[in-house]
Each structure stands twice: as C-alpha cells, then as structure tokens.
Amino acid sequence: MDPFARKMIRSSLIYGAVLVLMFAVLTVVYFHLRPLCSDETLSQINSPDKQWTAAILQRRCGEEAPFSTHVNLRPVQEAIRRGFFTGEASDGEIFRIEQDARSAGITVQWTAPGRVVIGCSHCQIAFLQQKSEHWRGITISYFLEQ
C-alpha cells in the first residue's frame, strides 16, 4: 500500500476516534448538567442547634408520571448531593411518598436539636415508599393521617 494512503487511512481513523470520544464526553457533561428530571427543593428548615437541616424535595419525570416527594436530612454546611445523572437527592432520605407535597400536606418541624417530626396530614398511605426512625443519631417521629 502506498505510504501516503496508509497515512490518510490512519489519520481518518484517529479523527473518527476523536469525534466519538468528544461526543461521549459532551453527552456525559450534558446529562450531568441537565438531568431528565431533577429534585426541586420546596422548603428547608434548620435544627435549633444549626447543625442539621431538613429539606422537602419533590420530583416528577413527565406529565404522566406520578409525583415523588421526599424529606432529606443533611449537615447545614453541606449542599444537597444529587445523583450525577439522575439529579435525585437520595443521600439522607428519611421519608418518601408517591404524592405531591401540596396535596399530602407534608410538614417538617424540629422539636429538639436531635429530634425531627415529619407530618403528613393527607398522605395516601398506599403510596408510602420509605420511612426511617433514626438517621445519624437523629430521632425521627411521624404523624401520618389519611
């Protein structure tokens, strides 16, 4: 084979590989910066000792998809950690329900530095997905009504 032709084929393959790599990197960056659906922070409240914060977050991935509302705890100095591609804040999740926050009537109240109360005045218990009673030394109480 002609040395010039060999050089042209090799250069074309390298150029194609660079284009594929660039497309892959840009796709990863795009989906990280703009996830298909991300959690929306509805409210946050700090503990009395200002060490912890509780946030009510909600997400909905499309018009036909159900709402998902959850409560997350985290140290005050830390930002909400969202999934790299999903945009979902699952770290510190202590309560999740498949219902929108407004219709569920979700409230969060700190009663002491290490005690938080989650209220849900209109929860549809059939759609309750998760709740925990302790998280990193914090005691969690629930008042769930239908």
Do both 90 and 115 map to the same domain?
Answer: yes
Residues 72 and 106 occupy one common structural domain: yes
Number of Cβ within a 10 Å radius of residue 96: 19
Specify whether 1 is located in the same domain as 66: no
Between 86 and 78, name the one with better pLDDT: 78
Domain that holds residue 74: 40-144
pLDDT tens readout for residues 12-69? 999 999 999 999 999 888 876 776 676 778 889 999 999 999 999 888 877 777 788 8
pLDDT tens by residue, 57-76:
888 877 777 788 888 999 98
Give the number of domains in the chain.
2
Answer whether 146's CB lies under 8 Å from 125's CB: yes
Q: Which two tokens stand for residue 8?
A: 């042209």
Q: How far apart are CA 61 and CA 69, in angstroms?
A: 12
Distance CA 79, CA 88 (A): 13
Q: Select from 122, 123, 144, 125 the least CA-distant residue to 133.
A: 144
